[in-house]
A = this chain, B = another copy of it.
């Protein structure tokens, strides 16, 4: 029940630490596990992973006691359910803004196998039977539900979005949020930090996890943790490689007088 334990922790305000990983090769798991993360964030929104690759990653991480949490490409309830069936123990739904989106997801993550009209009744608070209530609670106990908050409209609606008790936490997507606020990639701007603070505060008021996926240095990450973040996704394997490889290779070349001219490769989206 490591999914359940993680959900309980972030609701209680304890801090958990993870990283984003998108490399679908078996031995990679050992490299990530060395850092002893509490969970991994497998992002299928921006990364080219096949269903079976995600399934294997989830199975292996969960067997190692590291909670596999998968971001799906769209807030589609069917996709959330099949991803959980494949072995994910948590779902991050991208760019959530409306209660209707949350309703689809909380059904998918926490009330299966109910669907259709019966699920609608249950989401409205009607019970089928005490037996089925117990069954569903047990069946879905290990599923974590996280929603991405990445816009001003989502911040404005956050109290309503967190009305749903099934949402275990929120996750800030800083790139999208900064663009939505009109200050692209300005992660130190006061408006950006204020928006982050509001999201963290509301999450904690509602006793949900306050999450951030960021790729900054130690000081920046500590700042977010001190602002209330307790579900920290530190960087991504893809970004760690890009940034450290570039910086180290350039440092070595510079020492030897071999620095190449011009600019590097294409940009990457997270």
Residues of A within 8 A of B (CB): 15, 17, 19, 22-37, 44-56, 58-60, 63-64, 73-74, 76, 78-79, 81-82, 85-87, 95, 97, 113-118, 128-129, 131-132, 135-136, 150-154, 175-176, 179-180, 182-185, 217-218, 221-222, 225, 232, 234-235, 237-242, 244-246, 248-253, 255-256, 258, 260, 262, 264-269
Distance between Cα atoms of A35 and B83 in the complex (Å): 25
Asked whether, in the complex, the Cβ of B55 is within 8 Å of the Cβ of A52, the reply is no
Distance between Cα atoms of A26 and B54 in the complex (Å): 9
Distance between Cα atoms of A251 and B232 in the complex (Å): 13
Contacts A132-B184, A266-B30 given: A240-B251 contact, CB under 8 Å?
no
Smallest distance from the beta carbon of A209 to chain B beta carbons, Å? 15
Asked whether, in the complex, the Cβ of B118 is within 8 Å of the Cβ of A180, the reply is yes
Distance between Cα atoms of A95 and B115 in the complex (Å): 8
Contacts A34-B242, A35-B245, A256-B15 given: A114-B179 contact, CB under 8 Å?
yes
Q: Which residues of B contact A232 (CB under 8 A)?
A: 252
Distance between Cα atoms of A109 and B243 in the complex (Å): 27
Q: Which residues of B contact A244 (CB under 8 A)?
A: 240, 244
Asked whether, in the complex, the Cβ of A27 is within 8 Å of the Cβ of B48, the reply is yes
Asked whether, in the complex, the Cβ of B153 is within 8 Å of the Cβ of A34, the reply is no
Smallest distance from the beta carbon of A28 to chain B beta carbons, Å? 6
Contacts A27-B55, A52-B26, A118-B153 given: A175-B113 contact, CB under 8 Å?
yes
Distance between Cα atoms of A217 and B248 in the complex (Å): 8
Asked whether, in the complex, the Cβ of B87 is within 8 Å of the Cβ of A26, the reply is yes
Asked whether, in the complex, the Cβ of B251 is within 8 Å of the Cβ of A241, the reply is no
Q: Which of B34, B52, B60, B97 contacts A53 (CB 8 A)?
A: B52
In the complex, residue of chain B having the shortest beta-carbon distance to the beta carbon of A38:
B260
Smallest distance from the beta carbon of A86 to chain B beta carbons, Å? 4
Distance between Cα atoms of A86 and B46 in the complex (Å): 7
Q: Which residues of B contact A44 (CB under 8 A)?
A: 82
Q: Which of B95, B184, B222 contacts A252 (CB 8 A)?
A: B222
Contacts A30-B268, A59-B29, A115-B95 given: A73-B79 contact, CB under 8 Å?
yes
